[in-house]
Amino acid sequence: MTMTRTLGRSGIEVSALGMGCWAIGGPYWGGTQPYGWGAVDDDESVRTIHKGLDLGVDFFDTASSYGAGHSERVLGRALRGRRDRVVIASKFGNTFDEQSKQALGPNGSVEYMRSCLDGILRRLDTDYLDLYQFHLGDAEIHDAVALVDPLEELVRQGKIRAYGWSTDDPHRAEEFANAGAGCAAIQVHLNALEDNAAMLRVCAAQGQAAINRGPLAMGLLSGKYQDGHAVGRDDIRGQAPQWLRYFDNGVATPQWRAKVEAVRAALTVGGRTLAQGSLGWLWARSPANIPIPGCRTVEQIEENAGALEHGPLSLREFEEVNRLVSELEA
């Protein structure tokens, strides 16, 4: 089934499923804290991207900081000769050193936004970016709004086609989207276990696409962490920072495993796998939703793209999942 979505008011059409490219950036650190997802095989990452294209996935979300530039380089390599077939989103705001692979902290200035784009285009080996997203979700609103006119200028120059903000604060998203016509998307944390109603309301009111990050709850909603095995210490989930709630010492917490178990049967309806049901839930939740599951192997993108064949959960299936989640919360 061909399922497409529009990136908000930009009119840019994308497949209803995107591919998240954080993990394929490979290791990078903030001091000794891993920010990557452990070791990666670049050749497998390239095969994964090509398989996605074969299966109708044409939207790729990365960030300049993922793997300290490495994710964009791998994406650029995979998309060589195919640029006109894809829509690429990247992000600015988290600085890094490409050589040492160290994250060097936030910078939300206009100057950095401009210079970061030059690095992004070089690494992606392209002369324009489709969607340029502000990565600092908690930045002050006036600092974010100060970026809007310079971003509009980049749109006029043809260096970007549209822009957005990755934030979970409805007020921030509303002010930013209101400030400029070229704002097309808000990237929101959303999955079948963690609804984000206030953010979806803002996206609908402001004509924004809701790009869903963490659609599989960092892998939990694939079901493969239910057996309690640990990810490596070089994986961000292995030494989880405070904001990362699903894993403790690399093992999915009993509370989150119980939540996954509670919705498993409801999400695996109609022959779907758990990951496919989770993606179907997102499409049923809002027509603005565009899930971007992180994929690091051909097998993973095959399974995730298989969700396109099943489409959204039916209203009855969707409501059953919601009933189970509210029961858990009660």
Ligand X SMILES: NC(=O)c1ccc[n+]([C@@H]2O[C@H](COP(=O)([O-])OP(=O)(O)OC[C@H]3O[C@@H](n4cnc5c(N)ncnc54)[C@H](OP(=O)(O)O)[C@@H]3O)[C@@H](O)[C@H]2O)c1
* Interface with ligand X (CB under 6 A): 20-23, 37, 61, 91, 135, 137, 166, 187, 213-219, 222, 224, 275, 292-296, 300, 303-304
Output the residue with the shortest Cβ distance to ligand X: 20
Q: Which two tokens stand for residue 23?
A: 């993990």
Q: How far is the CB of 5 from ligand X (least distance, A)?
A: 16
- Residue 23 or 121 with smaller CB distance to ligand X: 23
Q: Which two tokens stand for residue 104?
A: 């060097």
Q: How far is the CB of 296 from ligand X (least distance, A)?
A: 5
Q: How far is the CB of 47 from ligand X (least distance, A)?
A: 15
- Residue 275 or 284 with smaller CB distance to ligand X: 275
Instruction: Answer for the pair 125, 94: CB distance below 8 angstroms, yes or no.
Output: no
- Residue 174 or 303 with smaller CB distance to ligand X: 303
Instruction: Answer for the pair 91, 133: CB distance below 8 angstroms, yes or no.
Output: yes
Q: How far is the CB of 199 from ligand X (least distance, A)?
A: 13
Give bridge partners of residue 120 from the DSSP assignment. Answer: none
Q: How far is the CB of 140 from ligand X (least distance, A)?
A: 17
**Rounded to an integer, what distance in angstroms lies between the CA atom of residue 166 and that of residue 183?**
12
Q: Which two tokens stand for residue 136?
A: 């600092």
- Residue 10 or 222 with smaller CB distance to ligand X: 222
**Rounded to an integer, what distance in angstroms lies between the CA atom of residue 274 and that of residue 184?**
30
Q: How far is the CB of 237 from ligand X (least distance, A)?
A: 8
- Residue 59 or 153 with smaller CB distance to ligand X: 59
Q: How far is the CB of 156 from ligand X (least distance, A)?
A: 25
Q: Residue 188, SS3?
A: strand
- Residue 130 or 153 with smaller CB distance to ligand X: 130
Instruction: Answer for the pair 189, 213: CB distance below 8 angstroms, yes or no.
Output: yes
Q: How far is the CB of 157 from ligand X (least distance, A)?
A: 24
- Residue 21 or 155 with smaller CB distance to ligand X: 21
Q: How many CB atoms lie within 10 A of CB 246?
A: 22
User: DSSP letter string over 48-100?
Assistant: HHHHHHHTT--EEE--TTGGGGHHHHHHHHHHTT-GGG-EEEEEESEEEETTT
Q: Which residue, 254, 137, 139, is CA-closest to 188?
A: 137
- Residue 24 or 99 with smaller CB distance to ligand X: 24
Q: How far is the CB of 317 from ligand X (least distance, A)?
A: 19
Q: Which two tokens stand for residue 215?
A: 């659609």
- Residue 14 or 292 with smaller CB distance to ligand X: 292
Alpha helices in 247-290, H assignment, sequence order: 254-267, 274-285
Output the CA–CA distances (angstroms, integers) from residue 320 to 125, 193, 264, 269, in the order listed. 46, 13, 11, 11
Question: With left for phi above 0 and alpha for psi between -120 and 50, is residue 264 left, alpha or beta?
Answer: alpha
Return phi, psi of residue 123, to 5°.
-70, -35
